[in-house]
Structure formats: structure tokens, C-alpha cells
Amino acid sequence: MDENDVLALVRLSGGRVTKSRHAILKSLINAKEHITAEEVAGLVREQYPEIHLSTVYRNLEELEKLGVVVHTHFLHGPATYHLENEIHVHLVCESCGQILEVSLELLNPFMREIKKNFNFSINPKHFALQGMCGVCTKAES
Amino acid sequence: MDENDVLALVRLSGGRVTKSRHAILKSLINAKEHITAEEVAGLVREQYPEIHLSTVYRNLEELEKLGVVVHTHFLHGPATYHLENEIHVHLVCESCGQILEVSLELLNPFMREIKKNFNFSINPKHFALQGMCGVCTKAES
DNA sequence: GTGCTTGCAAACGTTTTGCAGACTC
DNA sequence: GAGTCTGCAAAACGTTTGCAAGCAC
């Protein structure tokens, strides 16, 4: 799904294609990593300084409703946003903040087990799994 | 670990045993579930109306440093606090908010796999796993 | 022209902080 | 008496909202 597809989707859902929407989408595409709303605003303002943080929030929310964007919470900071490409799980180190991305497949046996035992379907995208990376584990001991 | 042990631990770490600390600990012990700082304050104020929310936060933070209390984030609301008894994982339904507690053992194979592949040790207590419970899954379809 | 979208300012809910006085040890 | 802890008020933080003007369709 490229930029035009998304903008078409926006129109299809009754929304308008505006400068802000365009610019916000572009910066999400360019910034291949997870970025916060504040960071999106920063990128967008390089070209359009008038675009307001609240507009960024409103657009991110709408793009999320359309399934184009997802947000994830790492540790205690602000939420981070990224394009919904392939689903993966995030591991974030509570000590150094490093983020690892793990294929969903690794989680599958566990998710099936939970489904079987509790009839509960885990959605592992929304919050990161916390823990400690190898480097910090070694440093702590 | 009962109340006296904790207060001894507080003293041992150079802290003082105060009315607030006592009352906050007591309400955590009584409220066997997860409660927010606001709810702790509510309970504490039944007996000592003068105890301030910021005091509750400061004490919860200290008890957490001592390893007596842990806090967990469910969905987007405030953090919830509970005594560190046995470690379990929380499953929270994104639709109805219901919370399930799952023994850590179920997560063990997955955690080992992650440790092996990424040398990353998951700490599953701090954030709840999100998803959808059986009732809501049925209601959605 | 309809009605979605924007910038702005202000509010929100949760948590943290600075301070002077009060308390524990 | 030394040093921790408290209430209070205020700020900090990330996010949301109400409004009137502006823009896409």
C-alpha cells in the first residue's frame, strides 16, 4: 500500500485529501522507524511550519481508524506511530531502551495456548514487551 | 512478607515509618486487586483525609524501589499498583476491559525461545498483554 | 455550498516537583 | 538535631477538545 492508495482510502471513507494529511503520511513513510506524534510534527513542519501538533494527532488517529497506521507504547514515554506493514512484536529493553522487532510467528504457540485455555485472542501489537537485552543483562550482573 | 516485614524493610533502607506509609501499605494489602494511585488515596483517606495524592505517589514509588509493589499498565488509563506476590501475566480485553491473570508458566516456552534467539529476557509484569476476550470476540463477529 | 479539516487556545487526566514546615529516629 | 517525609500548589507531560475560519469536493 503506497501513498496514493492510502489517500484513495481516505477519500473513500468520506475524508478529504489535505496538505496536512499528505505531509503526515509522507513523513511516516520516510521515517521507517517508530516515531512519536511530536516527531511527526517536527518532520512535517520542515516543509509546512504552520501544521499544528493537534492536527498531527487528529490525522494519526484517523489513519489508525483506516488501519494504515498503528501506535505502540514503549516504556513510559509517548506513544509511537508506524505504518502497518507486517505485524511484529516489539521487545524494548527497560534499561537502555533498545527496541527489537520479533516476528509474530515466535509468539504463535503461546497465543494458541492462551486461546485454548482462556479463549482470549492476544493482540501483541499495541504494547511492547518489556525486558532486558543481553548487553544490559551482562552489565547488571 | 507481611506488613511488619515491609515496614522493617523501609527502616532498613533508611526510610521512616510514617502514618501515610502505614496506611498506604494497608490499603494495598486489603485491596487484593490492582488499584490505581487515586484509588489508594481514596481508601487511605477514609481514615486519614489529610493524606495527599502526591504522598501516595511518592510512597508507591518508594515501595516499588524496595520491590514490595509493582505497577502495571492496562490499556490507556492510569497505572495500577499491587503487591508483588506471585508473578503472573495480565491479559486485558481491549473491548470490555476485563482482566485475566495467567500463570507465568504458560509464557515460559515463549520466553525461552526469545532468550535463545535474541538474548533478551522478557519481564512480562510491567505491561499487560492486550487482546480480546471470548465474549467480545463473539459479540464482534 | 456542504461539511470535513484546520490552527489556536485551552482543558484534560495522570504524574512529578519545589518548597517550607512537620515528623521519625 | 539530622535528615526524611508531608501537604500544598503548581508545573509537567502527552493528549484531547471546542470553536470559528478555511479548504476539499
Q: Quick one: pLDDT band at residue A1, thresholds 50, 70, 90?
A: low
Q: Is B91 close to A121, i.e. CB distance below 8 A?
A: no
Q: Of the given ranges (A46-50, B32-36, B99-103, B121-125), which has the lowest mean pLDDT?
A: B121-125
- Convert A16-28 to b/e letters by CB count within 10 Å (16 or more is b): eeeebbbbbbebb
Domains of chain A (ranges; CATH) run 3-83 (1.10.10.10), 88-140 (3.30.1490.190)
For the CA of A54 and the C1' of C11, the distance in angstroms is: 13
Cross-chain residue pair B134–A120, CB shorter than 8 Å = yes
Is B35 in a helix, a strand, or coil?
strand
Do B82 and B128 contact (CB within 8 A), yes or no? no
Tens of pLDDT, residue by residue over A86-135, are: 667 888 888 888 888 888 777 777 888 888 888 888 887 777 888 888 88
The pLDDT-based confidence of B92 (bands split at 50, 70, 90) is confident
How would you list the strands of the sheet with B69-72, edge to edge? Answer: B35-36, B80-83, B69-72
What pLDDT is attached to residue B67? 84
Nucleotide nearest to A51 (CA to C1'): C7
Residue-wise pLDDT for A34-60, tens only, equals: 899 999 999 999 999 999 999 999 999
The answer to whether B94 faces chain A, any CB pair under 8 Å, is yes
CA of B60: nearest nucleotide by C1' is C15
